[in-house]
Structure 1
Amino acid sequence: MLVLSQEEIRELYTMEECLRDVEMAFRHEAAGGTVTPVRTVIAHEKRGAVTLYMPSFVEEIEYTAVKVVSIFPQNVEKGLPSLQGVTLLTEAKSGRHVALMDATWLTVLRTGASSGVATRLLARPDARSCAVLGCGAQALGQVQAIMAVRPIERFWLYNRTRARAEQLADRIYSLYPEWKGSITCVDDADEAVSAADIVVLSTKATEPLFDGSILRPGTHINAIGAYQPHMQEFDAVTLNRCRKVVVDTKEGALHEAGDLIKPIQQGEWSIDRLYGEIGELITGQKPGRETDEEITLYKSVGIAFLDTMVACAVYEKAKRLGAGTTVTL
């Protein structure tokens, strides 16, 4: 079995590669080539945390994987990462468990790439400003993916605790020194949203973060934070202003996305207005953005076939380059 650390994966695998592999995974899913049970969620209510168990099989590459990821927001206060994960990769031809790898950075990368693919299809080609609401573990991947697909010139960062926004700004500056002076941290979410062509929502909020009436025509939203039924990052006004609401998978969204579940239960929005799954846009079954004025939204709760696809890509590349450590269990 090959064991790969987070540091090794960061050196091996780029956002550009992840964007390619995530798009291909959605193509396989759209063609019926994946088996992905709804993930098992174990809540740690006393700590406001969860552990997720996410299995999947991708037929085309003949690999299965299971990812176990824990999300403990209070870890930040202890100097520990809030998001931690591992992936076990299994060869479907033989049942051999061939790799065990850190999934923490891969989760950030593939979640960012999912939004990047959606942004490429749904954001205006000339989108140049981005607001990020929620500057925790997932935010950097979102920023990097959007920078890879659109000519972004300015970011607005908002976090309930301003220090987290400032930390993200410093992290971006350390990776991209040329961005110095192009990032603004704000204390009001509406201020960030009203200035942006693209909006990223990456929080654990249980109530809407902003007033949907302030969205500018032509805005695209990537909403990735509310991954349980009790969570919510945007309001029904936002949903009803969107010309196209797209999800990673309809099954996952209806099971877990509080952003959609709550307005449906309250009679403020209907699932009949869902435009489709991102795979339908990727494969050309439905068009992406059609006008400069339409407001679009991509809602993602995360799906395990993306983890299987990127884990396979990392494993195959590591074998070619001789990376990682081989162990016998």
Structure 2
Amino acid sequence: MLVIKSTEVAELLAMPACIEMMEAVLADLTNGHAVQALRSVVPLEGGNVMGLMPTYLKRDEKVGAKVITVFPGNHGKGYPSHQGFVSLFNSTNGQLEAIVDGTRITAIRTAAVSAAATKLLAKPEAATLALIGTGEQARTHIEAMLLVRPITKITVWGPNPAHAEKLRAETASRYPAVSVEAAESAQAAVAEADIICTVTASTTPIVQGAWIKEGAHVNAVGACRAKDRELDSELVRRAELFVDRTESAVNEAGDYLIPLGEGSIGEGHILAEIGELLVGTKKGRRSETSITLFKSLGLACEDLAAANHIYKEAIRTHKGTHIDF
């Protein structure tokens, strides 16, 4: 068995390859070549949770699960908000082949899935990007968005101005051809944005529908529980809503469930899964003026696909630590 740590995951899971990988596995999920169960969540004190996410990739003959803790209050405490691992088993003989760091996988594959959705839903000429949130997901989302749209301007905002300025400076240094600004408010950050990524730990609306211009695309990533949301009901009502998995959204997505409970939207408001767009059974954006919204919750099949790729690359490059198990 191989144990593959966080620094090795970062070396072995490149964003361009991960975007292609996420497109493939989401299409497989739609076509029945990937199977997964709804995540099981154990509530902890302080609003924290531990989740178990099992899945089976038929084509790759792999089965496994991600085990992860989500501690939203960890920001600024020296620990990531998401910590865990992905177990990778051979589905033909049941052998445990690898344990892979799940924290870094989550950071990379989440942004890669947002990029896949953005390729399908954002207008081709979209050039202005707003990031609401200043943590690790903001950094990986910037990398991913720049790979799929001709971004020339990035605006960042977070509740801590020092963190926003740090992200601005890092981003400007990493991408010198792109104009990067730190906004004074979330409203100012999103006002002119063609693409908006919300990647916060907020449990209450932080972005309002009245602020979003026609034709924009939103990736809502941060809230992952039924009682939590980053977007107000008006934004969801105005938007054409797409999800990674309908089963997950109707059970776990507060950004959908809360407006539904209020009566702001109906049960048919979810138009399609990203996998359905990828295989061509459903269509995406309906018009140039539509606001499109991708609600991301994260799926076990995405984690296992990434872990399997990392495992194969670790064998090829002689990375990881072998353990008799």
Scaled by the length of structure 2, what TM-score is found? 0.95
User: What amino acid sits opposite 1:200 in the alignment?
Assistant: C
Question: 1:97 offset after TM fit, Å?
Answer: 0.3
Question: Hey, what does 1:226 align to over in structure 2?
Answer: 223
Question: Hey, what does 2:41 align to over in structure 1?
Answer: 41
Question: 1:28 offset after TM fit, Å?
Answer: 0.6
Aligned partners of 1:174, 1:40: CA distance in 2, in Å?
A: 41
Aligned partners of 1:174, 1:51: CA distance in 2, in Å?
A: 36
Q: Is the 8 A contact 1:50 1:71 kept in 2?
A: yes
Question: 1:41 offset after TM fit, Å?
Answer: 1.6
Question: Hey, what does 2:128 align to over in structure 1?
Answer: 129
What SS does structure 1 have at the residue aligned with 2:8?
Answer: helix
Report the aligned-residue RMSD. 1.5
Unaligned 5+ segments in structure 1 are none
What SS does structure 2 have at the residue aligned with 1:138?
Answer: helix
Question: Hey, what does 1:201 align to over in structure 2?
Answer: 198
Question: Hey, what does 1:255 align to over in structure 2?
Answer: 251
Q: Is the 8 A contact 1:129 1:195 kept in 2?
A: yes
What SS does structure 2 have at the residue aligned with 1:306?
Answer: helix
What SS does structure 2 have at the residue aligned with 1:275?
Answer: strand
Question: Hey, what does 2:71 align to over in structure 1?
Answer: 72
Question: Hey, what does 2:211 align to over in structure 1?
Answer: 214
Question: Hey, what does 2:27 align to over in structure 1?
Answer: 27
Aligned partners of 1:287, 1:76: CA distance in 2, in Å?
A: 38
- Of the structure 1 ranges 245-254 and 158-167, higher mean CA displacement relative to structure 2 is found in 158-167
Question: 1:177 offset after TM fit, Å?
Answer: 4.5
Question: Hey, what does 2:182 align to over in structure 1?
Answer: 185
Question: Hey, what does 2:111 align to over in structure 1?
Answer: 112
What SS does structure 1 have at the residue aligned with 2:75?
Answer: helix
Question: 1:136 offset after TM fit, Å?
Answer: 2.0
User: For residues 13 and 261 of structure 1, do their structure 2 counterparts lie closer, same or farther at Cα, with a shift above 3 Å needed?
Assistant: same
Q: Is the 8 A contact 1:56 1:308 kept in 2?
A: yes
Question: 1:168 offset after TM fit, Å?
Answer: 2.3
What is the correspondence of 1:286-305 to structure 2 with a 5 Å cutoff? 286-305=282-301
What SS does structure 1 have at the residue aligned with 2:136?
Answer: coil
Question: 1:225 offset after TM fit, Å?
Answer: 1.0
Question: 1:206 offset after TM fit, Å?
Answer: 2.4
Question: 1:42 offset after TM fit, Å?
Answer: 2.0
User: For residues 270 and 149 of structure 1, do their structure 2 counterparts lie closer, same or farther at Cα, with a shift above 3 Å needed?
Assistant: same
Q: Is the 8 A contact 1:204 1:231 kept in 2?
A: no
Q: Is the 8 A contact 2:195 2:217 kept in 1?
A: yes
Aligned partners of 1:174, 1:190: CA distance in 2, in Å?
A: 25
Question: Hey, what does 1:274 align to over in structure 2?
Answer: 270
User: What amino acid sits opposite 2:15 in the alignment?
Assistant: M
User: What amino acid sits opposite 1:188 in the alignment?
Assistant: S
Question: 1:175 offset after TM fit, Å?
Answer: 3.6
- Of the structure 1 ranges 216-225 and 202-211, higher mean CA displacement relative to structure 2 is found in 202-211
Question: 1:79 offset after TM fit, Å?
Answer: 2.2
- Of the structure 1 ranges 161-170 and 7-16, higher mean CA displacement relative to structure 2 is found in 161-170
What is the correspondence of 1:298-317 to structure 2 with a 5 Å cutoff? 298-317=294-313
Question: 1:174 offset after TM fit, Å?
Answer: 5.0
Aligned partners of 2:284, 2:152: CA distance in 1, in Å?
A: 23
User: For residues 150 and 278 of structure 1, do their structure 2 counterparts lie closer, same or farther at Cα, with a shift above 3 Å needed?
Assistant: same
User: What amino acid sits opposite 1:257 in the alignment?
Assistant: A
Q: Is the 8 A contact 1:224 1:300 kept in 2?
A: yes
Question: Hey, what does 1:284 align to over in structure 2?
Answer: 280
Question: 1:253 offset after TM fit, Å?
Answer: 0.3
How many aligned positions are there? 325
Q: Is the 8 A contact 1:130 1:196 kept in 2?
A: yes
User: What amino acid sits opposite 2:131 in the alignment?
Assistant: V
Aligned partners of 2:58, 2:269: CA distance in 1, in Å?
A: 31
Question: Hey, what does 2:175 align to over in structure 1?
Answer: 176
Q: Is the 8 A contact 1:83 1:137 kept in 2?
A: no
CA deviations 1:95-129 (Å, max 9, x no partner) are 00001111111111110011000000000101011
Question: Hey, what does 1:141 align to over in structure 2?
Answer: 140
Question: Hey, what does 1:164 align to over in structure 2?
Answer: 163
- Of the structure 1 ranges 157-166 and 113-122, higher mean CA displacement relative to structure 2 is found in 157-166
What is the correspondence of 1:98-109 to structure 2 with a 5 Å cutoff? 98-109=97-108
Q: Is the 8 A contact 2:171 2:180 kept in 1?
A: no
User: What amino acid sits opposite 1:251 in the alignment?
Assistant: E
Question: 1:290 offset after TM fit, Å?
Answer: 4.3
Question: 1:18 offset after TM fit, Å?
Answer: 0.3
User: For residues 195 and 69 of structure 1, do their structure 2 counterparts lie closer, same or farther at Cα, with a shift above 3 Å needed?
Assistant: same
Question: 1:81 offset after TM fit, Å?
Answer: 2.5
User: What amino acid sits opposite 2:113 in the alignment?
Assistant: S
Aligned partners of 2:80, 2:224: CA distance in 1, in Å?
A: 19
Q: Percent identity?
A: 36
Question: 1:163 offset after TM fit, Å?
Answer: 2.2
User: For residues 211 and 174 of structure 1, do their structure 2 counterparts lie closer, same or farther at Cα, with a shift above 3 Å needed?
Assistant: same
